[in-house]
Structure 1
Amino acid sequence: MSKVVTFGEIMLRLAPQGFLRFSQADNFDVVYGGGESNVAVSLANYGISVDFVTRLPKNDIGECAMMEMRKRGVGVDKIVWGGDRLGIYFLETGAVSRGSKVVYDRAHSSMSDIQPGMVNWEEVFAGAEWFHWTGITPAISQSSADACLEAVKAASKLGLTISTDLNYRAKLWKYGGDREAIMTELTSYCDVI
Structure 2
Amino acid sequence: MKDSKQHKKIVSFGEVLMRLSPAENRKLPQAKTMDFYFGGTEMNVAASLAYFGEQTQQITNVSNDLVGDAAIAAMRQFGIDVSAVNKVDHPLGLYFLEVGSGLRASKIAYNRLHGSFANITPQ
Higher strand share: 2
Q: Which residue of 87, 90, 104 corresponds with 1:84? A: 90
Number of paired residues?
A: 117
CA distance in structure 2 between the aligned counterparts of 1:113 and 1:104, rounded to whole angstroms: 16
Residue 66 in structure 1 maps to residue 63 in structure 2: no
Q: Which residue of 5, 26, 29 corresponds with 1:20? A: 26
Confirm or deny: 8 A CA contact 1:83 1:113 kept in the other structure.
no
Q: Which residue of 45, 54, 70 corresponds with 2:51? A: 45
Confirm or deny: 8 A CA contact 1:89 1:103 kept in the other structure.
yes
Alignment-mate amino acid for residue 39 of structure 1:
V
Runs of 4 or more, structure 1, over 3 Å off, are none
Counterpart residue number, 2:120: 114
CA-CA distance at 1:83 after TM superposition: 3.0
Counterpart residue number, 1:165: none
Residue 94 in structure 1 maps to residue 86 in structure 2: no
Percentage of pairs with the same residue: 37
RMSD: 0.9
Bigger RCO of structures 1 and 2 (CA < 8 A, at least 6 apart):
2
Counterpart residue number, 2:3: none
Unaligned 5+ segments in structure 1 are 119-193
TM-score w.r.t. structure 2 length?
Answer: 0.91
Higher helix share: 1
1:1-193 equivalences in 2 (<5 Å): 1-115=7-121, 117-118=122-123
Unaligned 5+ segments in structure 2 are 1-6
Alignment-mate amino acid for residue 93 of structure 2:
G
CA-CA distance at 1:18 after TM superposition: 2.1
Alignment-mate amino acid for residue 64 of structure 1:
A
